[in-house]
Amino acid sequence: MATSPESEHPIKAYGYAARDPSGLLSPLTFSRRATGEKDVRFKVLYCGICHSDLHFVKNEWGITKYPVTPGHEIVGVVTEVGTKVEKFKIGDKVGVGCLVGSCRSCQVCDTDYEQYCPKQVNTYGMPYFDGTQTYGGYSDHMVSDEHFVLRWPENLPLDSGAPLLCAGITTYSPLKYFGLDKPGVKVGVVGLGGLGHVAVKMAKAFGAEVTVFSTSPAKEQEAIEGLKADHFINSKDEHKMQGVKGTLDGIIDTVSGNHPIAPLLNALTPHGKLVLVGAPEKPLEVAAFSLIMGRKTVAGSNIGGIKETQEMLDFAAKHGITADIEIIPIDYVNTAMERLLKSDVRYRFVIDVANSIKAE
């Protein structure tokens, strides 16, 4: 007989969960494991809402097991540490992003790319090593192996910094890996949403010349004046798109809706790279000659390893990079999901967990 979420572990926890593909979230009493010798337990203060949370609660990727408590942009304060924890103490400010486990012994783990480990464990909605389900940050507290816990920089705000645990590393990592982190490099950012606005901030902090591509002309003022992008292109304007032909060293494409990439490849210089961090539902259409005639690359990138995520947080703190957020209480979360579906947020919702999730 299956064990209920409330009784499978000894420590009672409270959160919000979806119970079916409607995606509607409501209070859930569940349980978390006792603090192991290498575990860090912390009170959750804030948790960002990622577009992945919306996909997952609605089972749009076909892998959701209910009930599911989402949230992988989690910050809080340590309340307990295991006997062999070395990096954290009670009272420390910490974060947990998209991962809470990996095998720690394969080649990708050994080279600090835990996000590509075949045995990776996501922060919510996946079986942990003990066979029980992982529950995310829409909850009152978390427990994680210390390897997957991030030290929170003292001068980085907890609330507006929380989305960096997904949106920040998702954009920082490809900028670094593909050599788009040098002063003077010409970088395009496609889409000006939760990922895109952080990508602009990261690229500008590296010293890049940044061009924003959007289908929404109304976002030009925000891109140029608010985010300090150097150029704005309405990607529906064929004349404007033709004007940037062959000018960009790399493009970070954050759009998860279906869209043509041929015009973006056209904007790249020879040896240029188009890096996908959004995940459109339909397969891409790429003409071979659009790659061959210029040795251009279409690539993808998924978050970052733990070492690089810590590096990103320290970089963000140094350069004053945070997400633009709207703070909400947990009982607003279903309305927030509806608004997120309509892109009605500038640019990330963050749940004030500590002040709005209470024990039933």
Q: pLDDT tens-digit profile of 289-306?
A: 999 999 999 999 999 999
Q: Which amino acid is at 71?
A: G
Q: Would you say residue 360 has pLDDT above 70?
A: no
Q: List, in sequence order, the alpha helices (H) in 104-148.
A: 107-110
pLDDT tens digits for 179-220?
999 999 999 999 999 999 999 999 999 999 999 999 999 999
For residues 243-250, average pLDDT: 97
Which token pair is 262? 């041929």
The percentage of the chain sitting over the pLDDT mark of 70, rounded to a whole number, equals 99
What angle (nearest 5°) sits at the alpha carbon of residue 283, between those of residues 278 and 287? 105
Q: What is the pLDDT of residues 156-183, one digit of tens each?
A: 999 999 999 999 999 999 999 999 999 9
Question: In the prediction, which pLDDT does 1 show?
Answer: 42
Please tell me the predicted confidence (pLDDT) of residue 258. 86
* Chain segment 111-159, per-residue pLDDT in tens: 999 999 999 999 999 999 999 999 999 999 999 999 999 999 999 999 9
Q: CB neighbours of 280 closer than 8 A, spacing ≥ 6?
A: 255, 256, 257, 258, 259
Amino acid symbol at 217: P
Spatial contact of 191 and 253, defined as CB atoms under 8 Å apart: yes
CA distance 69 to 18: 7
